[in-house]
Amino acid sequence: MNDTQISKFMSLLLRHAPEKAGLRLDPQGWIAVDDLVAGMNRAGRALSRADVERIVAANDKQRFALSPDGARIRVSQGHSVEVNLAYRPVEPPEVLFHGTATRFVESIMASGLERRSRHHVHLSADRATAVAVGSRHGKSVVLEVAATRMKADGHQFFQSANGVWLTERVPPEYLSPAAEREQSSV
Ligand code: HQG
């Protein structure tokens, strides 16, 4: 397995399915690095603690976080398993962005952005990230979220350790498609 494959398997275990390697996360999503390594080896992925540390340090989006003493690891966002990362509400920028696929837009503009299998709707502070996130699902389109207005109306915003903006849902009245001209310029 190359580092990308290991990283994807780590994401799967730490976000969605720890049981695939016989593991359990603590309520804040942490697990001992040694337990993760042992579990991955049991699941047939031969790797060492040093491999995990290299992958954590090199990760493009800094998905993984180590505890200050380096003993435990978790992912910073994106879980579907029950965890509480104890995010504190923070003041969002005026506008945030959500990238999705064109085929979802009609449904999103009717019922709003929903968190689906994750704990939150994921938003970004820049368009380019939103374009990349959207293109994971198909032809990418970027929606603007009137974040300051949402906050003023009582919605809470959180930011993960790796900079992803999170909120529980975005009702349609705060959403607008970003202008075509702007989308093609990113
Ligand atoms: C869509 C990656 C129809 C939503 C990225 C999205 C991100 C609706 C999909 C992180 C809808 C859910 C999360 C509605 C939402 N009708 N479609 N009412 N409401 N949707 O993967 O935001 O690489 O769960 O637009 O960088 O794409 O994994 O969420 O297309 O930060 O670290 O339902 O995943 O991070 O898809 O991506 P996802 P997402 P990592």
Tell me if 102 is assigned to some domain.
yes
Tell me if 173 is assigned to some domain.
yes
Tell me if 148 is assigned to some domain.
yes
| Co-location of 100 and 57 in the same domain | no
| Co-location of 99 and 177 in the same domain | yes
| Co-location of 57 and 100 in the same domain | no
Side chain identity at 90, as an amino acid letter?
V
| Co-location of 103 and 176 in the same domain | yes
| Co-location of 69 and 104 in the same domain | no
User: What distance in angstroms lies between residue 38's CA and the mean position of ligand 1's atoms?
Assistant: 31
Domain count, the chain: 2
| Co-location of 131 and 179 in the same domain | yes
Extract the tokens encoding 172. 């349609």
Tens digit of each residue's pLDDT, the chain (186 residues): 899 999 999 999 999 999 999 999 999 999 999 999 999 999 999 999 999 999 999 988 899 999 999 999 999 999 999 898 888 899 999 999 999 999 999 999 999 999 999 999 999 999 999 999 999 999 999 999 999 999 999 999 999 999 999 999 999 999 998 865 444 444
Q: Does the CB atom of residue 111 touch ligand 1 within 6 A?
A: yes
Strand partners, 11: none
Residue 183: what pLDDT? 47
C-beta separation of 178 from 144 below 8 A: yes
Residue 186: what pLDDT? 45
Measured by CA distance, the residue closest to atom 25 of ligand 1 is 100
Residue 69: what pLDDT? 95
Containing domain of residue 42, as a range?
A: 3-75
Q: What angle separates helix 49-58 from helix 3-11, to the nearest 10 degrees?
A: 90
Residue 180: what pLDDT? 55
The CATH number linked to 46 is: 1.10.10.970
| Co-location of 99 and 172 in the same domain | yes
Tell me if 81 is assigned to some domain.
no
Tell me if 80 is assigned to some domain.
no
Task: Indicate which atom in ligand 1 lies nearest the CA of residue 124.
Answer: 31
From the CB of residue 36, how many other CB atoms can be counted at a distance below 10 Å?
Answer: 23
Tell me if 19 is assigned to some domain.
yes
| Co-location of 179 and 102 in the same domain | yes
Task: Indicate which atom in ligand 1 lies nearest the CA of residue 101.
Answer: 30
User: What distance in angstroms lies between residue 100's CA and the mean position of ligand 1's atoms?
Assistant: 7
| Co-location of 169 and 110 in the same domain | yes
Task: Indicate which atom in ligand 1 lies nearest the CA of residue 121.
Answer: 22
Task: Indicate which atom in ligand 1 lies nearest the CA of residue 112.
Answer: 18
Boundary of a domain, candidates 75, 103, 127: 75
| Co-location of 102 and 70 in the same domain | no
Measured by CA distance, the residue closest to atom 34 of ligand 1 is 78
User: What distance in angstroms lies between residue 122's CA and the mean position of ligand 1's atoms?
Assistant: 7
Boundary of a domain, candidates 75, 104, 133: 75
The CATH number linked to 111 is: 3.20.170.30
Tell me if 162 is assigned to some domain.
yes
C-beta separation of 151 from 157 below 8 A: yes
Tell me if 84 is assigned to some domain.
no
C-beta separation of 37 from 73 below 8 A: no
